[in-house]
Structure 1
Amino acid sequence: MTTVYDFTVKMTNGEEKRLKQYQGKPLIIVNTASKCGLTPQFKGLQELYEKYKGQGLEVLGFPCDQFNNQEFDNIEETTQFCQLNYGVSFPIFAKIDVNGENTDPLFAFLKEQKKGLLSKNIKWNFTKFLVDQNGHVVERYAPTTDPLKMENDLVRILN
């Protein structure tokens, strides 16, 4: 059975990283954007990361420019923006597509595992997926869901 750990993603420097390195850890995987009305969610994602990283949590951010061009062209600007404005210390990966013919394979898998309310497509920036320690997608959260509202579900899979 395929899990999140079977995928490889691109880092900001173009190198590939196997998600197998996160095996045994719960993950929050999110498509992000730096110039979006929902961008302050970086704060909540960082709070969860800091609070639970000692228990293995990893937050993985994937910048996406598919929704009204709300991401910087230069990935270095993206990472600097996240660090300077929100103190982001969790990994930010290379910019990807989450919908359409160039959908990143990881996000194609995530969408198949947990469809949205009306379709499997991602509606906007900051769609969040909670993945358990076995690499299975356990929940999908709408872009408008505050990351801190995910905490109860996160704690449940940590225990």
Structure 2
Amino acid sequence: MQTKTGEKVKIIFSFFTLFFCLHIHYLYDKLKKEKTAKIENKVDENTKSNSNTNLNDFEDKFHNNDLSSLFSVKIVNGKLTMRHNRLSDVQLTEIDKDKFTGTVTFSVEVSFQRNKKSEITGLYITNFGATNVKYIKINITTTNRILLYLNLISL
């Protein structure tokens, strides 16, 4: 049974979530053209036809605990694509080694992180409102799937 304090926390959290969403939409409208133009210029300048890139290396699931957010990176129709349950798919274009760009409703840059063995261990997402938000590669086992699901629905 929920306590009154728990209900107040949920209401406050909902208010801040709504405020955050409205703020994001405001910033999106204000900065969309400027940031999109910068990233498009960067893609034009830096796009490489790198046949050595193995897109299979990037396929996996990546989680950010603070945001309770999960991205899935897969190859769809020969293109690296990021999927998220609350966003549209993002088709990624390589602009440098381990660095990609794409557009959701705004431009994003995705930089993959490797360990000393050259294995992908995480990724960083940058857009107009956030810089280098870290997502860690996760090994989805049945137990982890259940825990992740419970964590995501408990909000």
Q: Which bin holds the TM-score, normalised by the shorter protein?
A: under 0.3
Question: TM-score with structure 1 length normalisation?
Answer: 0.27
Larger Rg: 2
Using CA pairs under 8 Å that are at least 6 residues apart, name the structure with larger relative contact order, 1 or 2: 1
